[in-house]
Structure formats: C-alpha cells, structure tokens
Amino acid sequence: MVNVGESLGIIFCTFFEHVGIAVTFTNLMLALFSMMAGIISPDMPDFLKYINYISPAPYAAKVMIQQEFKGISFTCSASQGMMLPNGTLACFVPNGEKALALYGFESQTGFYINLVYLLLCFIGYRLVAYAILKLKLYRK
C-alpha cells in the first residue's frame, strides 16, 4: 500500500502545481481504497465493486487476514455465544478458519493470487506514474 501511495502521490503532484492539493487528493484516494477493501463495507453496490479491481487495498486485506486468522481459536462469554440444548456454549465464530470462511477467504490459493495481484497493482501504478511524468516532461 505504501508504494501505491507513493505512486499516487507522484501522479497527483504531476497534475497539480500545489503540493497541498496533491496530498489532499492522494489521501482521499487512499482513504476511499481502504474503506472499499471489503472489511468495513463487505456489500457494496456493483458499480463501486469495479473500483476495487484497480485498488491494492482488497488484495492487501485478504493477504493480511488469511495470514493472521490461520490456526487461531476464540473464546466467548455467555452473552457473546449461543447456549446449545445440551447446555454447552457455542461461539458464533469459534476459530480463525470459520472467520475466514465468513469473509470468503478460506482458500490458500487465494492467498498467493492476492499476493500476485498486489504486486501487479504496484507495478501498474508505478508505470502509470512514470508515463504521466514522461508526458508532462515532453509537453514542456
């Protein structure tokens, strides 16, 4: 995400002469990307889902979630769980694997695919920033 943020900063600094405006637009784009990563807003309108294809945030979130939730277990109190008929307490999400399944991230191949997409986002944003810089230099 940091490298994509740098690329966005380069792109906006190329478009705007004032650095403050470029920083504002960069922060706005990164905040939008972060909110639409699929954790804060898992169900978005279809037209907004297409923005996620060019955003590195959903890929980074999926990689981090899969890495952190693998192999952990949760405990819950009586107010957080559900009492079964046999008198035992059942948590809604008892372990990390169930949490991953809840988000739809249970596939290990998805982990590596998201890493590749993250790398492609980084390379793509750098190439776009480079192209915009070159275009601006040739126009002068």
Q: Could you state, in order of their start, the residue ranges of all structural domains in the chain?
A: 2-68+97-139
CA 120, CA 131: separation in Å to the nearest integer? 16
Burial category of 17 from C-beta neighbours within 10 Å (exposed 0-12, middle 13-18, buried 19 and up):
exposed
Residue type, 92: F
Mean pLDDT calculated for residue range 84-111 = 79
Q: List Cβ neighbours of 42 (8 Å cut-off, separation of 6 or more).
A: 103
| pLDDT digits 0-9 by tens, 42-92 | 677 887 778 888 888 888 888 888 888 888 988 877 777 777 788 777 887
Give CA separation, 82 vs 33, 56, 99, in Å: 36, 37, 17
Q: Would you place residue 24 in the very low, low, confident or very high pLDDT band (cuts 50, 70, 90)?
A: very high
What's the pTM value of the predicted model, to 2 decimals? 0.75
Instruction: Look at 6-15, 60-69, 71-80, 113-122 and tell me which has the smallest mean pLDDT.
Output: 71-80
